[in-house]
Amino acid sequence: MTTPINDLIARLTDKKTWKQYPLKRRFVSKLKINSTNSCWEWLGSRLQRGYGRIGLNGKMITAHRASWLIYRGEIPRGKFVCHKCDNPPCVNPDHLFITTHKENMMDMVSKQRWSKKPKTAKQIESARKLMMKLSQSQRGKKKAWSKLNKFQVLKIRASNEVQKKIAQRYGVAQTLISQIKSGKIWKEI
């Protein structure tokens, strides 16, 4: 009996393509498929922040970029490969998306994932302004990384529950819930 995981492994390790794609052969040998969250966990060398890395043409590249190259094709010049799942060692191409630097920064700020969290009032205000500025370019579901959809936003606005609990339920920051409720974002709904 075959399972979806076994079928996936069979496709990943298809011997016909191994000879044509030595990068794919090395890549597949260094991953583990997590059946609970469908992430493909990178088992090879990692950078300090958890991103995998692999050699390509004499240079080291991040494993998620290698995944995109293997399964999706070229990465447009100046574009970033980012995670929807926010799991740095994940290399599942279904969890990746192409974006610009600006959109990547917006994603980072909206999820409060910057490496040096703002401590002073000036830094906090600067981060808030950056988030608001970047959010003007795209709205809600148009963003590839958007964790919420129109129906969830409507439920959030209608809820009388504490914002922190709502944020935990949807896996987003409390500030995002506040901005939704106050109409600062998702204005079109």
- 187 located within any domain: no
- 94 located within any domain: yes
DSSP character string of 65-92: HHHHHHHT-PPPTT-EEEESS--TTB--
Same domain (yes/no): 83, 167 = no
**Total structural domains within the chain:** 2
Predicted TM-score of the model (pTM): 0.55
Same domain (yes/no): 24, 47 = yes
Burial 125-141 (b: 16+ CB within 10 A, else e): eebeebbeebbeeeebe
pLDDT in the model for residue 96? 93
End residue of a domain, out of 65, 99, 133: 99
pLDDT in the model for residue 175? 87
Same domain (yes/no): 95, 19 = yes
Same domain (yes/no): 71, 112 = no
pLDDT in the model for residue 18? 45
Walk along the chain (189 residues) and give the pLDDT tens digit of each residue: 455 555 555 555 555 544 445 788 889 889 998 878 889 999 999 998 899 999 888 889 999 999 999 999 999 999 999 998 888 999 999 999 999 888 887 777 777 676 666 667 777 677 667 666 655 554 554 554 567 888 888 889 888 999 999 988 888 888 889 989 988 888 777
Same domain (yes/no): 61, 31 = yes
Q: Which structure tokens are listed for 24?
A: 């794919």
pLDDT in the model for residue 5? 53
The enclosing domain of 51 has a CATH number of 3.90.75
Same domain (yes/no): 162, 151 = yes
Range of the domain at 76: 4-99
- 120 located within any domain: yes
Same domain (yes/no): 53, 64 = yes
- Asked if residue 180 lies in contact with residue 186, where contact means CB atoms within 8 angstroms, the answer is yes
Compute φ and ψ for 148, nearest 5 degrees. Answer: -115, 150
DSSP character string of 151-165: HHHHHHHH--S-HHH
User: Quick check: helix, strand or coil at residue 119?
Assistant: coil
Same domain (yes/no): 37, 115 = no
pLDDT in the model for residue 19? 46
Same domain (yes/no): 94, 121 = no
pLDDT in the model for residue 13? 52
The crossing angle, in degrees rounded to 10, of helices 101-110 and 121-135 is 130
Same domain (yes/no): 31, 87 = yes
Question: How many residues does the structure list for the chain?
Answer: 189
End residue of a domain, out of 78, 99, 120: 99
Nearest to 184 by CA among 133, 111, 113: 133
User: Quick check: helix, strand or coil at residue 50?
Assistant: coil
Same domain (yes/no): 82, 9 = yes
- 59 located within any domain: yes
End residue of a domain, out of 99, 115, 132: 99
